[in-house]
Amino acid sequence: MDKKVYFISDVHLGSASHRKNYLKVRDNKDVGEFEAEHEVERKLCRWFDMVKADARAIYLMGDIFDFWFEYKKVVPRGFVRVLGKIAELCDCGIEIHFFVGNHDIWLTDYLSNECGVIVHSQPMVMEILDKKFFLAHGDGLGDKSKSFKMIRYIFHNKFCRFLFAGIHPRWALGLAHVWSNHSRETGDMYGYLGEEKEYLVKFAKEQLKLAPNINFFVFGHRHIILDLMLSQSSRVIILGDWITHFSYGVFDGKTFSMELFENE
């Protein structure tokens, strides 16, 4: 069986209140926050089970968690189904790469030590099935907003992280989820801006001038599904999300396609 490479982004595990509201609008049904969160966890585990049969590697392209912070002896509560499934796939010999996003930026060594995941904190260019890929979550690339740059600087600052670690998890995690919900609802969850305004598209075009041999730029972050040709041999892909789209990318060595999981 020919092996494939899979890509997924912006699951935002832990965004229970937002997901509960979405299900109420979509299905006209009231569900509890735990029920809403467990529903998407089970769905993601079914996706992992599906791709397990022919996956060479799986790339988790950031914001898999709505918020993540590792204290020395404490990690966030929940996600046991997904973490167990990831560990199972790694134990089966499937490479799982995790690109840190802006919501799970403070991930360190827990997933690598406990689950076997390969963690990337910076964008990377790598060869996958004889094609050149530029891979990144997408936050901070081409976005020239001063306010975003300031927020990004704070969250990348080691001293700020040290100060946050001094807050008891009871308050720190609650505060973080309030910020995370606000960031997601007021940030990049809006529709396609067009080729001339999408900053990830503009970033890819500039990179292509420097490295014309890149075949695929693959991003998350924007919560939109986009597959755009930049040249005869280069495309930019934005992977959508697992809040409204339940989308993923798959590459078989010749074709990169965007798919919807359990699309009804």
Alpha-carbon gap, residue 114 to 73, rounded angstroms: 13
Amino acid at 45: C
DSSP 58: E
Q: Which residue has the tokens 């509960």?
A: 20
pLDDT digits (tens, 9 = 90+) for 182-192: 555 555 556 88
- Residue 193 pLDDT: 85
Question: Helix/strand/coil (H, E, C) string of 104-146?
Answer: CCECCCHHHHHHCCEEECCCEEEEECCEEEEECCCCCCCCCCH
Q: Comparing 18 with 45, which gets the higher pLDDT? A: 45
- Residue 175 pLDDT: 65
Alpha-carbon gap, residue 131 to 203, rounded angstroms: 20
Mean pLDDT of 73-94: 90
Mean pLDDT of 113-130: 94
Amino acid at 121: S
Question: What's the domain count of the chain?
Answer: 1
Token pair for residue 86? 């990831």
Mean pLDDT of the chain: 84
Look at residues 14, 5, 4, 18 and name the one whose alpha carbon lies nearest to residue 244.
18
- Residue 233 pLDDT: 94
For 216, list phi and psi in degrees, rounded to 5. -140, 130
Give the best-scoring range by mean pLDDT among 25-39, 40-54, 184-198.
Answer: 40-54
Q: What CATH number is attached to the domain comprising 71?
A: 3.60.21.10
Q: Comparing 33 with 14, which gets the higher pLDDT? A: 14
Torsion of Cα atoms, 136 then 69 then 224 then 4, to 10°: 60
- Residue 35 pLDDT: 72
Helix intervals (H) in the chain: 16-27, 33-52, 80-91, 110-115, 146-156, 158-165, 169-186, 199-210
Parallel, antiparallel, or unpaired for β 247-251 and 4-8?
antiparallel
- Checking if the pLDDT of 25 tops 50, the result is no
- Checking if the pLDDT of 69 tops 90, the result is no
For CA atoms 132, 135, 138, 140, the dihedral sign is negative
Q: Residue 174, Cβ neighbours under 10 Å: how many?
A: 10
pLDDT digits (tens, 9 = 90+) for 219-233: 999 999 999 999 999
Confidence of residue 24 (pLDDT cuts 50, 70, 90): very low
30: domain range?
A: 4-260
Q: Which residue has the tokens 């798919």?
A: 259
Q: Comparing 29 with 194, which gets the higher pLDDT? A: 194
Alpha-carbon gap, residue 177 to 59, rounded angstroms: 25
Alpha-carbon gap, residue 197 to 186, rounded angstroms: 18
Mean pLDDT of 33-60: 90
